Chains A and B, each alone.
Chain A
Amino acid sequence: MLERLKDACRKLTARFSKRRREREAAKKDVPFFPEFATFELVIMLIAMVVVVLIAVFWPGVAGPAADPAGDFEPTAFLEFALDELPDWITAVGLGGSIGFVILLFFIPRLDPGKTRSKTARRIVVLSAAVFLVGWLGIYGAYGYFAIPHGSNNTPGGEWTMCWHCHSHWGGPGDPLDISRHGEVIDENCMTCHLDDPKLVEFYLCDEGLFRESHQCSHCHNPHAPVPHEVTPGETRMERMAVGGETYVFPYTPRNGETHPSLPMRTCYACHEFDTASGGAAEVAESSPATTLVGEHPPLDGRACLDCHATYDGAAVGVARCIFSEADGDVHALPGARGSDCASCHEITTTYER
Chain B
Amino acid sequence: MKKLFFLLSIFLLLLSTVFYAQEKTIQDKNGQNECLNCHKSDENLPDDFKSYDVHITAGLTCADCHGGDPTSDDEDIAMSKKNGFVGVPSRKDIPQFCGRCHSDFKFMKNYRPEVETDQVKQYYTSIHGIQLKKGDKNVAVCTSCHTAHSILPPKDPRSSVYALNVPATCNKCHGDKKLMDKYNLPSDIYKKYVNSVHGIDLLKNKDVTGAPACNDCHGNHGATPPGVSSIVNVCGTCHVNNYNYFKASKMGKDWEGDNDYHGCVTCHNNHDIKKPNDSFVGVGDDALCSDCHDKGDKGYEEAKKIHQELTNLSTLYDSAKVKLIKVKQLGMDDISIGFMLKDAHQAMIKARTTVHTFSSAKVAELTVPGIKIANNAIKKADEEISDYHTRRYGLGAATIAILILIIGLYLKLKGLNKPEA
Q: Answer whether A and B are interacting partners.
A: no
Residues of B within 8 A of A (CB): none
Binding site for B on A (CB under 8 A): none
